[in-house]
Chains A and B, each alone.
Chain A
Amino acid sequence: MNKNEYMDLIQKEIDGVISEEDLRKLRAVLKNDPTARREHDDLHKIGTMLNSITDVEPPRSLKANVLNAIQARPAHHDFPTTLFHQLEGAMANFISLYSKHRRGAFILGGAVVVAIAIVYVSSFYPPPAKESVSGTIGEAKKYRGEQMSDKDVSLLNPEIQKILQNDKVQTALKNKAFQSALANPAFASAVANSAFTSALANPAFASALANSAFTSALAKPAFASALANPAFTSALAKPGFASAVANPALQSSLKSSELRSALKSPELKSALSNPALQSALADRALQSALASPQLQSALSSRSLQSALANAELQSALASSSMQSALANPALQSALASPALQSALASSALQSALASSELQSALANSAFQSALSSGALQGTMGE
């Protein structure tokens, strides 16, 4: 055995990675070769001396200093990856839902992927100057064919690369229905809205996605069209609205063709973006009311949609006294009554609601007070 060979074995022995066979070979060499024995003893002595150095406790202030330093860092440093993880979770939902409700689920799946790409590009492109990432461990360099050049494929951003390398995304992208959804410009436009991606991360909304009636409604073109409206997607992002759509009654109402048709109306979509209306929609009684065919029919009326879009009416809905009135069980009960729903469905009442005079009256604080009075509510509930 030459010097290089036995020195290699000595090193393996010191590092604790020598095999039994190599150890036997080394011992044989050491027994017969005084030079090898001396090298062995010296290197072991170095090892012993190195062992004399023991670990030192870091300063107590180290942890606090690190935490103070990162506290000052803006949270948006985390956002792209956080968003990706949220959307990756939504993608997992999509895969699960797809097998059960193919039509409904692929739309949400499309939302996820398109949202990833578009939201990222719109929010984070061009990417900020990368700080030194000298600590980043490089990936293994794999063989790359020459079929494609840099001119053919430009994936400059590692986040996008990461998204496209994700197994779930790749599986979804191979699906024909999914590809079809991605090709829908209105839908792509809808999911470009960051508020919608936030809604996707909402547990209540995720719960709604698991409902077959809701996913079925989502598959309808009218709803996809509604999603293309920024006001509507903004409404989707509100906690109250997300909670509302998780309600089975509202989900059931979304199946109605009239309501889906109504959702196409720009005025209604605009109205839905109103926080007061969103809060009202989150109310269980109102959700039940919305599930009634009559009210759905009423909502599909252009005049009622127009009324709902009226700024004064929205202002009235936003007033605390009106909200108080809406929160009253008697009024909620009244709204749930077939008679009132029938009345709302009448063109005459819808026209009345659309009139500027009635809207002004509704905006009047005295009228709102009257509405919130127990006597009037009792009368309406009869």
Chain B
Amino acid sequence: MVVEENDALLVQRSLSGDRDAFEALVVKYQKPMFNVALRIVHDYEDASEVTQAAFVSAFENLKHFKPRYKFYSWLYRITVNGSLNFAKGRRRFEGLDDGMVSIDKQPDEVFSEKDTALIVEQALMKLPPDYRTVIVLSHFQDLSYKEIGDVLNIPVKTVKSRLFTARQLLKDILIGSGD
């Protein structure tokens, strides 16, 4: 993802009490953070609340932010952790019976793109949160292995391993094991 050089400056200005600078950070990152939250908590209103709480938490803890890190990685981490905590607290894995989202190997022939998106979202919700998160950060936010590692505070090797497993799980859910 493209990150403008001025994040560090905006953070510094925010620390000096410049609320406009923090507003600029909110404007810049509200969409990606909201979408990360949405893919993890799978509810528009809940995602809005989680994103709002993430920005407020970031503001309150800005003094703990270490400039050597990228601000967006730090913000992603706050958002992801908030989303995961919310999802785990809610314990709401909207139920889909096993196989309900299984589709034909020619999904485009059967489902519209909108239907496909809905099915994929439902399949994502069937993944354990840790695996869902790496898919969200990799596929929807285009973060690199290293960036995902920074966000989740895990080694790159673990990122690759989780991505592999997550894709296999998604494949099993959406396409079937094929065995």
Summarize A's interface: helix, strand, loop or mixed.
helix
B46-76, CB under 8 A of A: which get 1 and which 0? 0010011011111111111110010001110
Chain A contacts for B135, CB-based, 8 A: 50
Number of residues in B with C-beta < 8 Å to the partner? 69
Report yes or no: A43 in contact with B171, Cβ–Cβ below 8 A.
yes
Q: Which of A14, A52, A135 contacts B57 (CB 8 A)?
A: A135
| Chain B CB within 8 A of A49 CB | yes
Chain A contacts for B52, CB-based, 8 A: 62, 65-66, 69
Query: Given that A46-B175, A65-B52, A136-B64 are contacting pairs, would A11 and B19 also be in contact in the complex, using a CB cutoff of 8 Å?
Result: no
Summarize B's interface: helix, strand, loop or mixed.
helix
Report yes or no: A70 in contact with B56, Cβ–Cβ below 8 A.
yes
| Chain A CB within 8 A of B16 CB | yes
Query: Given that A45-B175, A137-B153 are contacting pairs, would A51 and B139 also be in contact in the complex, using a CB cutoff of 8 Å?
Result: yes
Report yes or no: A69 in contact with B64, Cβ–Cβ below 8 A.
no
Distance A77 CA – B35 CA, assembled complex (angstroms) = 29
Chain B contacts for A132, CB-based, 8 A: 57
Chain B contacts for A77, CB-based, 8 A: 60, 63
A140-177, CB under 8 A of B: which get 1 and which 0? 00000000000000000011000000000000000000
Report yes or no: A81 in contact with B175, Cβ–Cβ below 8 A.
no
Distance A138 CA – B74 CA, assembled complex (angstroms) = 10
Chain A residues in the interface with B (C-beta under 8 A) = 7-8, 11, 14-15, 17, 38, 42-43, 45-47, 49-59, 61-63, 65-67, 69-71, 73, 75, 77-78, 80-82, 85, 131-139, 158-159
Report yes or no: A56 in contact with B35, Cβ–Cβ below 8 A.
yes
Chain B contacts for A133, CB-based, 8 A: 57, 61, 64
| Chain A CB within 8 A of B78 CB | yes
Chain B contacts for A139, CB-based, 8 A: 66
Chain A contacts for B119, CB-based, 8 A: 49
Give A131 Cβ to nearest chain B Cβ, in Å.
6
Which residue of A is nearest B16, CB measured? Answer: A82
Report yes or no: B174 in contact with A46, Cβ–Cβ below 8 A.
yes
Chain B contacts for A80, CB-based, 8 A: 63
Chain A contacts for B126, CB-based, 8 A: none
Report yes or no: B81 in contact with A137, Cβ–Cβ below 8 A.
no
Distance A17 CA – B142 CA, assembled complex (angstroms) = 12
Chain A contacts for B139, CB-based, 8 A: 47, 50-51
Q: Which of A55, A69, A82, A134 contacts B78 (CB 8 A)?
A: A134
